[in-house]
Amino acid sequence: MKISAIILARNEENKIAKSVNSLLFCDEVLVVDDESTDNTAQVAEKAGAKVHIHSKHNEFAGQRNWAMQQAKNEWILFIDADEEVSKELKNEILSLLTTNYKLTPTAYLLPRRDYFWDQELKYGEVWKARSAGIIRLIKKGSGVWTGSVHETFTTAGLVGKLNEYLNHYSHDSISSFIQDINFYSTLRADELKNEGKHVSPLELIFVPLGKFIYTYFILLGFLDGPAGFVYSFVMSFHSFLVRAKVASQSYV
């Protein structure tokens, strides 16, 4: 069986080669470039990927659904530009696709291992993706992606789970972290506003606070040391920004 790999990217010239290189075991590597203003497309092509320029219009699910149609193989592996397939995961996928031709699941969860400040995070905000995994390996035509941001794959078929890790290197600095949450909080706020969401002053205060308490104490984020505190704090600030932007009349 053959597999296509897809990376969604925008202005990732410093990371895209690493992602592409980790996917060269696949029969096809596609990079869907959201009209980057840097050299993402050129670097990706040099690394061995085929590049499609296609604007996502801030619709991540729509971009993934469009990308699926460009893939020529039956199975599709999605990763982001700041992720890479570990050698162990590569071997597990190859074993899965070559030794079990009649695969029963139509999608597979991949556990994701997050790195921040040059250390591996194991608790707090990243715990769910690390333990339960996220759907990234799918059979073409078996479902659709939904959601403008933090999109999910919906399938009527059986969902399996792999054991080895997808590596995630999300934020190079606090500055880039803040820029990212500002961008993604705007997308999420727009999504909630379109759904008619309203935010009360109490929600504005206590939801972000509750999120920090949950990720840092209940999910043991404090065990990741200073990096765990910063990660929990900044993601709680993201929760605050989303609600502040929903409550605001203008946040451009």
Amino acid 23: pLDDT: 98
The answer on pLDDT for 252 being more than 80 is: no
The predicted pLDDT at position 150 comes to 80
**Average pLDDT of the segment spanning 98-125:** 89
Total Cβ atoms within 10 A of residue 179: 12
Confidence band for 235, pLDDT divided at 50, 70 and 90: very high
pLDDT tens sequence across 189-210: 999 998 999 999 999 999 999 9
Rounded-to-10 torsion of CA 230, 234, 239, 240 = 110
Instruction: Give pLDDT tens digits for 120-167.
Output: 999 999 999 999 999 999 999 999 999 877 899 999 999 999 999 999
67: left (phi over 0), alpha (psi -120 to 50) or beta: alpha
* 102 vs 23, residue with greater confidence: 23
Domains of the chain: 3-170 (3.90.550.10), 173-247 (no CATH)
pLDDT level of residue 102 (50, 70, 90 thresholds): low
pLDDT of residue 172: 85
Name the pLDDT band for 103 (thresholds 50, 70, 90): low
Per-residue model confidence (pLDDT) at position 147 = 84
